[in-house]
Amino acid sequence: MIDPELADLYQDLIRDHSKSPRNFGKLEGCNAEAEGYNPLCGDHFSVFLKLEGDKIADVRFEGAGCAISTSSASLMTQSVIGLSKDEVPPLFDRVHALMTGHDDPGGPELGKLEAFSGVQNFPMRVKCATLAWHTLKAALSGAAEPVTTE
């Protein structure tokens, strides 16, 4: 169980990133991108990457979604800049385990992404919270078709 004060802090962080998302907008000069869609709730995002070698030099997103999906996309962009392509899957695995209440597989520190620990109490919201992450993975793999959480 999360300390109530920490839960309030996490809610404030999610609310802040939902109302004022970081790295929002199309990234000019991107060299990888993907589109993601959650048909259940209507969230729809595009993720744009500027890769330098195997490193994520910059990342942005655009689209529309609920507070959870928008804040997750915003915090994701802040978390992956500077990472290599190989560092993203273990980070995603940790975030997904946190959101679903599964055993922590270990790996990189989550920092502010810990704010999504409460999502495990709302299983229907996991798809909202992971949409941007699935879209990021699709952009890194060069997927041509939009990804979906269904």
pLDDT in tens, 13-50: 999 999 999 999 999 999 999 999 998 889 999 999 99
Fold of 4-148: Sufe protein. Chain: A (3.90.1010)
pLDDT tens per residue, range 67-100: 999 999 999 999 999 999 999 999 999 999 999 9
Residues 69 and 43 sit within 8 Å (Cβ to Cβ): yes
Question: pTM higher than 0.85, yes or no?
Answer: yes
pLDDT at 37: 96
> In the chain, what are the domain boundaries?
4-148
Six-digit token string for 33: 């991108």
Residues 128 and 38 sit within 8 Å (Cβ to Cβ): yes
pLDDT tens per residue, range 40-76: 889 999 999 999 999 999 999 999 999 999 999 999 9
